[in-house]
């Protein structure tokens, strides 16, 4: 009798769960785009290729996920292709969001959804790759604003781990990944440490007493890693040191988080002396002060968010807005980001737009800060970043300029040739409540 009652209870619970699941099934993220099955040609739009070229009344053709033609109207073959008239609209390359926790962070207040920080100080073997969650509710909200690729980056420690670059569409990380383990992330110890007083909202700065301790650890770790990399067949295998081996043959980047001018110079010199081939500065609040040094050493900069106040009271209030343009004009390759702000990164296009208004750069130059330059920094420019024949057909169609809030109205998105469903949780909530609160 007891067993029978338990069975009845179990069946009742199961039925309730099924009913709940069916009731909320409509709230799930849309399925990933289906693979392209036939050639597609878009005609009539203004095409912003991402390399500075703008084609009025252009034609963009793609097949099997690869761009086959970009040119003026009348060029290319439309036989057997699906022709889509997008006259009066604009076509842009997919925006690339670097230095984010998209896909490895969901709800800040729920620890179980945070997968970007590992225990310990030195974790080069930790991979964001396998932690990436394609079912994140945040990802579809990014696509609606043109973010088609994001770089998932681990945080914490002094050597945080390895990042990977993903498309914002896919059933799982294996589907979504574009580039695995593109670089190791390192947190450079600042010469000055800041502390914030919440009582009077003041900021004090003092010398970082723990700085030398961290630098000594860096020296030991990189010396061990270089020695390990020089061994042809090491036994036993050291996972931490093996993960750093690509740094010394140039196949991956060393991303160094550093803001102050002095720290930037020291970090680059350290990396060069350690035998690292490719260095990228991340943050770079004072990078404009050492622009000549960055250019000389061919070190690109991935900037912190520029929609902010200046870091010092004596700095120009518009300096953050001007910073991308200052570096660009100095010959430094620069990308703009929302750093680890996983949900705000949807507004990345507007950071680039602001730089064109304040940084003495054109709109098409500013577009490169979130497309071409970002692709070159991660070493994926042969596949993405610009609209050129032979590259992935990953682009967006907008009613106007995507760098301007008034024109960023995206109607179509294609990722590797597949047309992506632009539905997301925020659109569903809007539809749910618009009648209730829209009535007078």
Radius of gyration of the chain (CA): 24
* Percentage of the chain lying above the pLDDT 70 cut: 92
* pLDDT band (50, 70, 90) for residue 25: very low
Residues 6+ apart with CB under 8 A from 74: 59
Q: In this predicted model, what pLDDT tens digit does every residue of 84-119 receive, in sequence order?
A: 999 999 999 999 999 999 999 988 888 888 888 888
Measured distance CA(370)–CA(125) in Å, rounded: 28
The answer on pLDDT for 26 being more than 50 is: no
Q: Taking Cα atoms as reference points, which of 159, 110, 117 lies closest to residue 137?
A: 110
β-strand pairing of 147-152 with 159-167:
antiparallel
Name the pLDDT band for 210 (thresholds 50, 70, 90): confident
Of 135-144, 207-216, 318-327, 384-393, the range with the lowest mean pLDDT is 207-216
Q: For residue 21, what pLDDT is reported?
A: 44
Of 178-182, 259-263, 312-316, the poorest mean pLDDT is in 312-316
Q: Which pLDDT does position 119 carry in this prediction?
A: 87
The answer, yes or no, to whether residue 182 has pLDDT greater than 80, is yes
3-class state of residue 297 by DSSP: coil
- Given a cut of 60, is residue 139 above it in pLDDT? yes
HSE of 231 in the Cβ direction (CA atoms, 13 Å)? 13
Q: Tell me what pLDDT residue 251 has.
A: 95
| Angstrom distances, CA of residue 14 to CA of 18, 21, 22, 28, 80 | 6, 10, 12, 20, 50
pLDDT in tens, 318-339: 999 999 999 999 999 999 999 8
- Which of 301, 297, 242, 244 lies closest to 272 in space, CA to CA? 297
Segment 179-204 shows an average pLDDT of: 82
- Average pLDDT value for residue range 405-415: 94
Q: CA 160, CA 176: separation in Å to the nearest integer?
A: 22
Instruction: Quote the CA–CA distance of 150 and 108 in Å, as a whole number.
Output: 19
Instruction: Give the span between the Cα atoms of 179 and 251, in whole angstroms.
Output: 12
For residue 77, pLDDT over 70 is answered with: yes
* Alpha-carbon gap, residue 392 to 15, rounded angstroms: 45
User: Which comes out higher in pLDDT, residue 91 or 211?
Assistant: 91
What is the average pLDDT value for the chain, to the nearest integer? 89
Taking the C-alpha atoms of residue 342 and residue 105, their distance in angstroms, rounded to an integer, is 7
The H or E element spanning position 145 is: none
Closest CA to 160 of 249, 225, 256: 256
For residue 244, how far is the Cα from the chain centroid? 22
Paired tokens of 299: 């070190």
Question: Furthest-apart CA pair in the chain: how many Å?
Answer: 83
Task: From residue 106, give the alpha-carbon distance in Å to each of 137, 377, 423, 439.
Answer: 8, 26, 18, 33
Q: How confident is the model at residue 11 (pLDDT cuts 50, 70, 90)?
A: low
Q: Which of the four pLDDT bands, split at 50, 70 and 90, describes residue 439?
A: low
- pLDDT tens readout for residues 251-306: 999 999 999 999 999 999 999 999 999 999 999 999 999 999 999 999 999 999 99
The pLDDT, as a whole number, for residue 2 is 45
pTM: 0.89
Sketch out the chain's domains with CATH numbers: 28-93+387-440 (2.30.40.10), 95-384 (3.20.20.140)
Cα(302)–Cα(99) distance, integer angstroms: 8
Give the model's pLDDT for residue 107: 86
């Amino acid at each position: 009798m007891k067993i029978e009652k338990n069975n009845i209870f179990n069946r009742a619970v199961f039925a309730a769960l099924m009913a709940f699941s069916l009731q909320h099934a409509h709230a799930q993220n849309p399925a990933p785009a289906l693979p392209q099955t036939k050639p597609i040609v878009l005609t009539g739009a203004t095409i912003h290729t991402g390399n500075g070229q703008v084609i009025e009344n252009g034609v963009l053709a793609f097949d099997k996920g690869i761009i086959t033609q970009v040119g003026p109207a009348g060029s290319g073959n439309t036989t057997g292709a699906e022709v889509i008239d997008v006259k009066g609209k604009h076509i842009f390359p997919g925006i690339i969001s670097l230095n984010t926790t998209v896909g490895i962070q969901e709800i800040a207040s729920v620890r179980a959804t945070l997968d970007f920080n590992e225990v310990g100080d030195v974790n080069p073997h930790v991979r964001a790759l396998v932690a990436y969650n394609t079912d994140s509710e945040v990802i579809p909200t990014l696509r609606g604003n043109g973010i088609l690729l994001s770089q998932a980056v681990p945080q914490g420690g002094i050597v945080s781990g390895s990042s990977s670059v993903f498309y914002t569409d896919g059933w799982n990380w294996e589907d979504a990944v574009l580039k695995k383990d593109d670089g190791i992330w390192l947190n450079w110890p600042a010469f000055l440490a800041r502390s914030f007083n919440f009582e009077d909202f003041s900021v004090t700065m003092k010398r970082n007493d723990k700085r030398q301790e961290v630098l000594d650890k860096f020296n030991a770790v990189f010396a061990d890693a270089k020695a390990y990399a020089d061994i042809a067949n090491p036994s036993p295998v050291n996972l931490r040191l093996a993960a750093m081996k690509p740094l010394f043959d140039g196949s991956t980047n060393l991303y160094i988080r550093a803001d102050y001018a002095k720290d930037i110079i020291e970090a680059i010199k350290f990396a060069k002396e350690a035998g690292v081939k490719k260095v990228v500065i991340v943050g770079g609040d004072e990078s404009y002060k050492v622009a000549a040094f960055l250019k000389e050493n061919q070190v690109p900069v991935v900037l912190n968010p520029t929609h902010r106040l200046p870091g010092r009271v004596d700095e120009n209030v518009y300096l953050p807005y001007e910073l991308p343009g200052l570096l660009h004009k100095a010959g430094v390759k620069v990308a703009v980001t929302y750093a680890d702000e996983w949900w705000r990164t949807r507004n990345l296009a507007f950071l680039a737009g602001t730089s064109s208004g304040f940084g003495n750069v054109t709109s098409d130059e500013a577009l490169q800060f979130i497309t071409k330059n970002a692709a070159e920094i991660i070493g994926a420019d042969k596949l993405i970043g610009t609209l050129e024949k032979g590259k992935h057909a990953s682009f967006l169609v907008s009613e106007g300029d995507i760098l301007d809030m008034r024109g960023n109205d995206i109607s179509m998105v294609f990722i590797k040739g597949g047309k992506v469903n632009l539905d997301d949780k925020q659109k569903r909530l809007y539809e749910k409540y618009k009648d209730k609160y829209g009535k007078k």
